[in-house]
Structure 1
Amino acid sequence: MPERRIGVPQIAHWPEMRLDSVCELISRGTAPAYVDDSPIRVIGQRCVREWGFDASATRGHDPRALNVLRAKTGDVLLNSTGAGTIGRSCVFGEVGDFVVDSHVTILRPALAKINPRWMEMLLRSPWGQRYLEAHCFTGSTNQVELSRSELVSTVVPVPPVAEQRRIAEVLDAVDHQDAMLEACLKKKEVIVGGLISSLLDSVSSVESELSSFLSGPPKNGYSPVEVDNWTGVKALGLSCLTPRGFRPVQLKNVPSGDSRNRAAMLANGDLLISRANTRELVGLAGIYRDVGAPCIYPDLMMRVTTSAQCLPEFLELQLLEGRVRRQIQAMAQGTSESMVKINSRTVMELRVRIPELAEQRRILGIVAAARSEVESLYQERQRLRLLKQGLADDLLTGRTKVA
């Protein structure tokens, strides 16, 4: 396999080494044997989050199952399948017995050569993410996999270990603030989620098919090939639809002269639904908000247009609420849990309760007031992450030295 390097612009001109020469292990996990109650916990893709490792998303593993891959403190966990989640990474540091499933790859650094935090920072950087997508992801958009053979031959910059350690300490301090904000945000969201469920449960309208409240069938978007340079036109990535609604966290540059962009061009207030993802994430919905440039939505999303009897913001609440989410997950189909699909018919057949417009507006008003504090916390966290990204870029290139 030819060697390729992550294209970090090196101001410090550190030496470079292949990943397999600085790692004791690079291996994907195995298919788990789930049980309801076990001290052995399975690490899946949901555990590898933007802000770090989430132990609450683990599941029990049968102690009798053999040939498992156990995670150790300092391992770098890399999501290895699934559009929208592949390429996400974190450093594992939990106490206990944890194994990884077949959708997660462990990179175990040789600590005498490379610091886990440095390695994870490389993978998470814009240069690392572009590299993984260009060289290490294989398969179609419906079933993307991480190629181990390409990953192990990747060449990375390796500064002195002492300098790596100092850089890690700086980033860990920022990560600690991030984790505290994330924990506070999750608590507030649980409270607001309970309020939304209570409000929707109070709706006395007759349950009907969603098709009764749409002006037509949902329409798929368009996915042109991403380009590196700014063209004036953006495309949403699948990660923009979250359990919290729309978040512009994954925007791609796409060609501006493609006539097929026109049908997928978004307008402020459009309601979108993901039509392919893991079973946990498929069917997430969100109201698109302007991102500062013309923007299209991809083939893995559908645009839903409501009739005059239904406000799109109210339908978004319904689609993200547990009862309707369970319908979506039950109706999604696919040969692998890492990529299941819904279609236009699935959406139209969903059973929803849509009250009169006045009641929709009343509920939306209560929810908006409750969400304002959540949004403030979210914006504070985003500002911290932008600061962290700028700091990481300076440290990664050697532009800024750590004393």
Structure 2
Amino acid sequence: MTEVLGTVLPGNWTASRLKRVTSLLNRGSAPDYVDDGPVRAISQAANQPGGLDWARTRFHDATGDPRRLKGYLLPEDILINSTGTGTLGRIGYFQGGPDEVPCMADTHVTVARAIPSEVDSRFLYYWLSSIPFQEYIYAALVVGATNQIELNRDRLGDAPVPLPPAEEQGRISGFLDAEVARIDAVMGIRGNRQGSLLHMRRAGALAKVFGQAASSAPTRLKYLLSNKPRYGVLVPEFADAGVPFVRVNDLLDLRGRAATLVRIPEALSQQYARTRVQPNDILLSVVGTLGRAALAPAELEGANVARAVASLRVRHDVDPGLFIRWIETADFMRQALDATGSDTAQPTLGMEDLANFNLRWPTDAHEQRRLAEEVEEVAKHHDELAACYEKQIRLLAERRRALITAAVTGQIDVTTARGVRVP
């Protein structure tokens, strides 16, 4: 009887170690990023479970033969995200780039190259994506501090791999290719179309509320602020103790993450004293992901922000909650896209452009309060719709993982399981 990570395998299956079924198990190279270049660099952000996101790749200014680069990729290489808290352990599969430009992994991605005589590369990809292996990553392979965790490469090589007979590996891979593609197609339709429609509907409903304000008058964004908008620390240095540091992803749940934010030295924060956070400051993403905003809670007083986050401090007679809802309207996003449309790399919203955004703002204090209540009701309704949509996506993702796990551990016979449909 062979057992792998708590699962008893079928009688004709064996087991091995990742380092014995791969000829390469190394991190990639540190890229020298340029707007255009001879090599595409794939980061952990570009490594997505449903396929590589080429829009998130950048170019590396390589010299000489790119095949000599550490992390140079060949078709059928498997990519393992090896640092960070959000995507650690995410598995991708490289089938070649969208053009003839060579590709490489960066230092945050480990490349696993299957030995064909030992394991089918697709089978190995699915095993590394399975529930037992993903749980094993966090239980046995992670090292480092809470905010700087990474996979231990030596222990990664010792990770167990179940091995069905070669023909069975091929049948499992073929079965999963078909069934996972079907699930991914459904998730893509719902993720791209339904998610976009919900976002557009929310932005339109909020804009409609603002358009009904009787006291609205045209103004520029800078006239609603008590200080000029500013972005934060250009090159952060992290420390175990110091000043809490807000990054773009933290804006998704700023209050919930307040106690676990990474920290920077006090001396570095003092160099950017103008972006030290005060309660009710509006923190806005201005690089890459534009328009993500959050209201600073009282417990983050004195914190600081990243270069990709702008700090906006509204006048005392401007409702900050209402102002954030205006940021969620199509009017804000249209101007943000216009201001960054010529950017060749990731969009970066300049502070001068942001300060000169046009909007119609209610001048009457009573109407501001009424509108604030109305937009919160609109936002609550659309949050409920979004929660239902996210539940559908989550159930599909769970279905995907469960199906992969059942197949790569022999819990289902794929020769009789073809035709499985997503409920």
CA distance in 1, matches of 2:399, 2:200: 32
Aligned to 1:148: 153
Equivalent residue letter for 2:91:
S
Residues 63 and 196 (structure 1 numbering): CA distance in 2 closer, same or farther, change over 3 Å?
farther
8 Å contact from structure 2 (residues 131, 401) kept in 1: no
CA gap 1:208/1:182 in 2 versus in 1, 3 angstroms: farther
Per the alignment, in what secondary structure is the counterpart of residue 52 of structure 1?
Answer: coil
Distance 1:47 1:323 in 2: 16
Structure 2 equivalent of residue 80 of structure 1: 82
Correspondent of 1:388 among 390, 393, 400: 400
CA distance in 1, matches of 2:258, 2:89: 19
The share of aligned pairs that are identical, in percent, is: 25
Q: How has the CA–CA distance of structure 1 residues 208 and 187 changed in structure 2, closer, same or farther, with 3 Å as cutoff?
A: farther
Counterpart Cα distance in 2 of 1:157 and 1:164:
10
What is the CA–CA distance in structure 1 between the aligned matches of 2:384 and 2:292, rounded to whole Å? 28
Q: Are residue 399 (structure 1) and residue 403 (structure 2) matched?
A: no
CA contact (8 A) 2:284 2:292 kept: no
For residues 3-402 of structure 1, the aligned pairs below 5 Å read: 7-13=5-11, 14-38=13-37, 40-64=39-63, 67-68=68-69, 69-95=71-97, 96=99, 97-184=102-189, 185-186=191-192, 189=195, 206-207=224-225, 281-285=249-253, 299-300=259-260, 322=286, 344-346=301-303, 350-351=311-312, 354=320, 355=322, 356-364=368-376, 378-402=390-414
Contact 2:132 2:405 in 1 (8 A): no
One-letter amino acid matched to 1:10:
V
Q: Which runs of 5+ in 2 are unaligned?
A: 211-215, 228-243, 263-279, 294-298, 315-319, 323-367, 416-423
Work out the CA distance in 1 between the residues paired with 2:160 and 2:136: 11
Give the TM-score, by structure 1 length.
0.62
- Where in structure 1 are there 5+ consecutive unaligned residues? 210-274, 289-296, 303-314, 330-341
3-state SS of paired residue (1:176): helix
| Cα separation, partners in 2 of 1:344 and 1:193, compared to 1, 3 Å | farther
Q: Distance in 2 between matches of 1:364 and 1:325?
A: 23
Q: 1:138 corresponds to which letter in structure 2?
A: V
- Structure-2 separation of matches of 1:114 and 1:370: 47
CA RMSD of aligned residues (A): 4.0
Tell me the distance in 2 between the aligned counterparts of 1:327 and 1:383. 28
Change (3 A) 1:208 1:51: farther
The 2-side partners of 1:39 and 1:375 are apart by: 43
- For residue 312 of structure 2, what is the amino acid of its counterpart? R
Contact 1:75/1:108 (<8 A) preserved: yes
Q: How far apart are the structure 1 equivalents of 2:115 and 2:301? A: 49
Displacement of 1:368 after TM fit? 6.2
Q: Cα offset for 1:15?
A: 0.7
Relative to structure 1, the CA distance from residue 396 to residue 100 in structure 2 (aligned partners, 3 Å threshold; closer, same or farther) is: same
Q: SS of the counterpart of 1:70? A: coil
Higher helix share: 2
The residue matched to 1:345 in structure 2 has which SS?
coil
- Matched letter for residue 382 of structure 1: R
User: C-alpha offsets along residues 333-368 of structure 1, whole Å, 9 cap, x if unaligned?
Assistant: xxxxxxxxx965337994255233432344455556
SS class of match (2:168):
helix
Deviation of 1:109 (Å): 0.6
Name the structure 1 match of 2:267. none
- Partners of 2:83 and 2:288 lie apart in 1 by 26
**What SS is found at the alignment partner of 1:47?**
coil
Letter in 2 for 1:32: P
Amino acid at match of 2:44: Q
* Stretch moving more, 181-190 or 79-88: 181-190
The 1:345–1:101 alpha-carbon spacing in structure 2 relative to 1, beyond 3 Å, is same
The answer as to whether partners of 2:78 and 2:92 remain within 8 angstroms in 1 is yes
**Is the alpha carbon distance of 1:397 and 1:327 closer, same or farther for their aligned partners in structure 2, counting shifts above 3 Å?**
closer
Whether contact under 8 Å (1:324, 1:350) holds in the other structure is no
CA distances 1:252-277 after superposition (whole Å, capped 9, x unpaired): xxxxxxxxxxxxxxxxxxxxxxx779
Q: Which residue pairs with 1:339 in the alignment? A: none
CA contact (8 A) 1:76 1:107 kept: yes
Distance in 2 (CA, whole Å) between partners of 1:191 and 1:319 is 26
* 1:275-324 superposed Cα distances (whole Å, 9 cap, x missing partner): 779x5534432798xxxxxxxx795269xxxxxxxxxxxx9xx7676589
Max radius of gyration: which structure?
2
- Give per-residue Cα distances to partners, 1:103-141, cap 9 Å, x unaligned: 000001112221223222222223212222222211111
Q: CA deviation at 1:177?
A: 3.0
* Counterparts of 2:250 and 2:92, CA distance in 1: 23
Distance 1:285 1:298 in 2: 8
Distance 1:84 1:34 in 2: 23
Instruction: Compare 28-37 and 164-173 and name the one that shifted more.
Output: 164-173
Shift of 1:159: 0.8
Give the distance between the partners of 1:126 and 1:71, measured in 2 at CA. Answer: 26
Mapped partners of 2:397, 2:50: distance in 1 = 9
Aligned length: 300
CA distance in 2, matches of 1:328, 1:90: 27
Q: In 2, distance between residues paired with 1:172 and 1:365? A: 44
C-alpha distance in 2 between matches for 1:400 and 1:344? 54
| Amino acid aligned to 2:10 | A
Q: Please say if residues 118 and 164 of structure 1, whose CA atoms lie closer than 8 Å, have aligned partners that are also in contact.
A: yes
Maintained 8 Å contact 1:19/1:151 = yes
